[in-house]
Chains A and B, each alone.
Chain A
Amino acid sequence: MNTSELARRDKFQFSMLLNDKRYRSYTFQFFALFILICAMAYLGKNLLENLAAAGLNISYSFLGEPAGYDINQRLIEYNSQSTHLRASIVGVLNTLLVAFLGCIAATFFGVTAGILRLSNNWIVAKLMMIYVEIFRNVPVLIWILIIHSVFLAFLPQPKAFRGENPEATMLWDAFAFTGRGFYIPKPVFYDGSFIVIVTFILSIVGIFAFRYYARQKLYLEGKLLETRWTSVGIFFIPTLIIYFALGSPIGLEYPELKGFNFKGGIHARGSLISLWFALSIYTGAFIAEVVRAGIQSVEKGQSEAAGALGMRPNFIMNLVILPQALRVIVPPLISFYLNITKNSSLALAVGYMDITGTLGGITLNQTGRAIEAVLLLMLFYLAISLSISAIMNVYNRSIMLKER
C-alpha cells in the first residue's frame, strides 16, 4: 500500500485544512487573500469617506484643461494654452531625455574610472579611488544642488559676452557656455536635405554589410580584406558627394547674442546640464565599481593564456577579458540605468521640468488633483521600470544560453 493510495482513501476532514500539508497551503493563501481584500476595502472605504467629507472627487478631466504655465525646456511644441496632458507629455520627454543622456555619460565616466582604477599608474588609480568614494558616499540630492551652484557660480552669464572687451568669448563663434545653459549650433534643413540623410544612413548600413562580407570572406576563404580605410571611405565619400551635388542643403544656425540672451541654435538649459552632469557623475562612481569588479572577476589565467597564444594586449582586452567581464557588468549596469531614470525625478530641486516637475509639480499645485497626479506619475515610472527589467530579463536569458 503506497502513499498515494493512502491519500486517496483519506476522507477529507476540516482539521486537514490546518494539519495536512496538502491542504494547509490553501488555508494560508485563502487567509492571505482575505486579509488583503479586507485591507483594500478598508482603505478604499476610508478614502471615499474622506473625499466625501472634503467634498472632493476623483476625476481626470483636469488633463484636458489648459495648463496656463510655460515650460522652458521642451522637445515638442507647447505653450501656456496647451493642456495639462500636453504639459505632462513634455515632462515625460524631458525625463527620457535627461535619463538617456545621463546613461550615456554615466557609462563613459564609470568605464573610464573603473579601468583607470586598475591602472598601474599609482596616482591615477588613487585619484579614481577618491572620486569613487567621494561620490558614492554623499547623497545624490546634495550633489545635484552643489553641482548646480557650481555651474551658476563659475560659468559666465550672457552679459559677460557683451561689450568691446568681453570677459568671456564664444568657442569658435559657435558654442557659448553660459550659466543659463549651453548654446550650440543647430542644423537647419533645406530642400533636399532628406536625400543627404538617407544617403548617410545607407552608407552606414553599407559599412556593416561590407564588414560582414569581409568576415565571411576571412572565415570561408581565409582572405583578409582591408576594412578600416574602406569603412572610412564609405562613411564620408557618398554623403559628401550628394551634399555638395545638391548645393549644401543642410546648414547650421549659430547662436548669437541678441537683447538679453543668446538667440538661435540649440539651447540646453542650465538645469538640464547640471542635472545631467550630477546624475551621470554620481552614477558613474557606482558603475566604476561594477566595471572594476567585472574586470577583476575574469581570472588572471585567461589573460595569461591569451598572452601565451601570442595575442596582442588590445586583442586580449577586446576578445578575451571584456566578453567575460560584460556578463558580470551588464545586469547591474542596467539597474543603474534604471536608477538614473528614477533619480531624475530629483529634477525639481534644480527646476528642470521633467514629469515630476510638470505633472507632479505645477499641474498638481494648480489643479489640486494630488491623488490623480501622483497615481499617473507612479504609473509612468512603473511602466519605464518594467520595460527596462523586461529587456534585462531577455539579456540575462541570452547570456545564460551561452553558458556551457
Chain B
Amino acid sequence: MKTSFILGAVTVAGLTAGAAFAGTLDDVKARGKLNCGVSTGVPGFAEPDANGVWQGFDVAVCRAVAAAVLNDSDAIEFVPTTGKTRFTALASGEIDMLARNTTWTFSRDVDLKFEFVGVNYYDGQGFMAKADLGVSSATELDGATVCIQTGTTTELNLADFFRSNNMSYEAVPVETGSEAVTNYLAGACDVFTTDRSALAARRANFEVPTDHVVLPEIVSKEPLGPLVRHGDNNWGDVVRWTLNALITAEELGVTSANLEEMSKGTNNPEMNRLLGSEGNLGEMLGLDADWAKRAIAVSGNYGEIFENNIGAGTIIGLARGVNAKWTDGGLIYSPPFR
C-alpha cells in the first residue's frame, strides 16, 4: 500500500505538462524556462564549474537566447546530452535548442529534420600525438592506433581520411572525451583525434603540454552551431538572429562595456535597429525592442564570449583564426540587421 503513495508523489514531481511541437517560442515564454541541450562536459565549450553553474562558449549562446526571450539569462534548464541522446532529445521536444559542438551536415539537416541556425565556431578535425613519437604529419600515421570519441562525425572523417590516403589504422573507440584522454596518456593509442578546438583544450590541461604536438593537417570541415527542430521557423528565427546579434555587435563595436551608452541611440542606423532604439525588428520576431540588447548584455558580443571562454587569454588558448570576423579575414559573418 505504501508503494502506491510514492507513485502518486513521483507522478506529481515528474509530470511537467509542457510542450513540444507547435509554437516553441510561446511554449518557452509560458514555461518561463528555456530547455537547452549541452554536452556532458567539454572544457571551454560547456562544463559545470565547482558550484554546478554551466559555463562555456556554447552555454553563452543558450544564455543569450534565454535573455532575449525571457529577460533572464539564468532561466535555463541545461540538459546534458551525449552524442547518442542529443538528436532524440531535440526531436522529441525534451529540449528547445541544442548548443553542443554539433557539426552541420547535410544528412542531419535534411534527413534528421533539424535546422541549423548558423555557425558559432568553424572547426576542423585534427590529430594530436606525443612529441617523442617523432611524427610531423598525419600522412605518416600508417598503422597507428587512434583514440576516438564515439558518436560523432569524427569517426566517419577518420575512416575517410585513412581510406583516401591508403593507410591502415586501428581505432580505439572511447565513450567520453575524458576517457579518450586517459587512454591517450596511458599510451593505449598513438594519436588522439577530435576537433582541433577540443584538442587544444585538452592539451592545455596536460601536465606538460609541450610533450604533445597537434599535427598540421585538418582532415575535415566542422562547422559547429546551434540547431532547432524543423518546422518551427519562428523559433528558428529567434535563435538564428540572437546568434547574429552577437556577431553583429562585435562587428559594430558594441561591447558589454559600452552597451548602455550605445543603446541610447547613435548615428549608426544599423546599431540603432539592432539595439532597438530604431525600427521594430524585435516585434517582427515576436519579442520586444530590447531583445538584442539583453542578449548582448549577458556576456558581451561574440568576440568577448570567445575571448572569455576559449580565447588566447584562457587556459584553452585558441587563436581566432578562421573564427575572426569577416572584416579581419575570418569567416564569422552575419547578414545585416535591416
Residues of A within 8 A of B (CB): 50, 53-56, 68-72, 80-81, 149, 152-153, 157, 159, 179-180, 258-261, 263, 269-271, 348-349, 351, 353, 357, 361-362, 364-366, 368, 370
Contact = CB atoms under 8 A, between A and B. Distances in A.
- Chain B CB within 10 Å, residue with most, of A69, A260, A270, A370: A260
Interface string B134-154: 000000011111000011100
Contacts of A68: 156, 159-160
Interface stretch (B172-180, B248-256, B328-336): B172-180
A55 B113 contact: yes
B111 interface: yes
Nearest to A160: B187
B127 to A, nearest CB: 13
Nearest to B169: A70
A144 B183 CA distance: 15
B188 A364 contact: no
A270 B188 contact: yes
Interface string B100-124: 0000000010011100000000000
B155 A362 contact: yes
Contact of A55 (B88, B108, B160, B230): B230
B84 A260 contact: no
B134 to A, nearest CB: 11
Interface of B: 20-21, 83-84, 87-88, 91-92, 108, 111-113, 133, 141-145, 150-152, 155-156, 158-160, 163, 169-175, 182-183, 186-190, 229-231
- Chain A CB within 10 Å, residue with most, of B144, B151, B160, B231: B151
B113 A56 contact: yes
Nearest to A364: B84
Given A56-B91, A56-B113, A260-B145, A366 B156 contact: yes
Contacts of A157: 186-188
A179 B188 CA distance: 6
Which 8 A-B pairs give the minimum distances between C-beta atoms? Answer: A157-B187, A80-B159, A152-B186, A351-B173, A365-B151, A55-B113, A368-B112, A259-B143
Contacts of B92: 50, 54
B91 A180 contact: no
Given A157-B188, A179-B187, A149 B151 contact: no
B182 A149 contact: yes
B20 to A, nearest CB: 8
